[in-house]
Amino acid sequence: MKIILLGPPGAGKGTQAKQISTKYNIPHISTGDIFRKNISEKTELGVKAQSYIDKGLLVPDELTIDIIKDRLDNEDCKNGFLLDGFPRTVKQAEALELFLNQKGDKIDYVLLVKVPESSILERMTGRRVCLKCGASYHIKFNPPKVLGKCDACNSDIIQRKDDSEETVKERIDVYNKQTEPLIEYYDDKKIMHSVDGTQDIEVVFKSISDILGDN
Ligand code: AP5
Ligand code: MG
Ligand code: ZN
């Protein structure tokens, strides 16, 4: 199964991705997590990406597209994958489509997680993340079992630098201008399904499972 998770910052893409990846046994590929790992390891890519991410802007397509192509060529993507945070521009979507077409492949599902702007700020400012495994928590809506520690891998959880109020507002603006056109792009291809992301985490997951089925 080849799936794209689409939705504004804080929609719950990462939260749902962890559960989908486990249930359907497909790798969870988050461009945001890949960039953050590179930033923490101070790689050349990390240094380049950080200047954009800290401002809430998109990392240029040229950098992002090649990373995804490399990742999708890995053996573990043969039977499917779950893309979280990619594509984010029409140019990225076209590059992905061409790349898959050349292998005789295509995306099966695009899941649009819908959350109004009014909920996003509270979700983002209360979010804590694990830099090691990418798990997301929320101090109120989804707290970890042990304060400050990741349930999955016991590493420290931290607040993302781009989760400040000012940067979140910029990210929402960038989403509206650069990513929202993808809704029409995928709607035209008749592979898009909308999910109400304002429901409880488990209810959102149930809605997604109903769309994807049991296999
Ligand atoms: P990225 O890491 O992808 O950030 P994002 O898209 O802004 O999305 P988030 O990770 O902030 O939100 P999410 O939907 O995953 O929500 P989560 O599950 O954590 O990208 C970061 C940056 O990297 C970008 O700004 C850009 O610079 C760069 N980048 C990445 N990909 C790129 C690309 N393709 N091209 C160019 N640049 C790129 O949940 C949020 C919070 O809400 C959590 O606290 C969670 O616990 C809580 N929550 C989740 N679900 C619920 C629920 N149902 N009810 C209540 N609370 C909930
Ligand atoms: Mg995320
Ligand atoms: Zn972890």
Under 8 Å between Cβ of 28 and 2: no
Report CA Rg, the chain: 16
Which residue positions form the known binding site?
Answer: 10-15, 31, 36, 57-59, 85-88, 92, 127, 130, 133, 136-137, 150, 153, 160, 171, 199
Average pLDDT of the chain to the nearest whole number = 96
Mean pLDDT, residues 2-10 taken together: 97
Share of the chain above pLDDT 90, in %: 96
- Closest to 85 in 3D by CA, of 34, 135, 38, 119: 34
Looking at 102-151, list the stretches that DSSP marks H as alpha helix, in order from N- to C-terminal side.
117-125
Tokens of 42: 């101070």
**133: Cβ–Cβ under 8 A, 6 or more apart, which residues?**
150, 152, 153, 155
Of 20, 77, 47, whose CA–CA distance to 205 is shortest?
A: 20
Kindly report the pTM of this predicted structure: 0.95
Architecture of 2-116+165-212 per CATH? 3-Layer(aba) Sandwich (3.40)
Residue 160 falls in the annotated catalytic set: yes
Q: How far apart are CA 5 and CA 112, in angstroms?
A: 6
Positive or negative torsion for Cα 102, 100, 44, 90:
positive
Helices (H), the chain: 13-24, 31-40, 44-53, 61-72, 90-101, 117-125, 165-174, 181-188, 201-212
pLDDT at 215: 63
Active-site option among 13, 18, 123, 128: 13
Per-residue model confidence as pLDDT tens digits over 68-82: 999 999 999 998 999
For the chain, the 3-state helix, strand and coil shares in percent, each to the nearest 5, are 50, 15, 35
Q: Are 109 and 80 in contact (CB under 8 A)?
A: no
pLDDT by residue (tens digit) across 131-184?
Answer: 899 899 999 999 999 999 999 999 999 999 999 999 999 999 999 999 999 999
Burial track 77-89 (b if 16+ CB lie within 10 A, e otherwise): beeebbbbbbbbb
Q: Report how far ligand 3's centroid is from the alpha carbon of 87 (Å).
A: 24
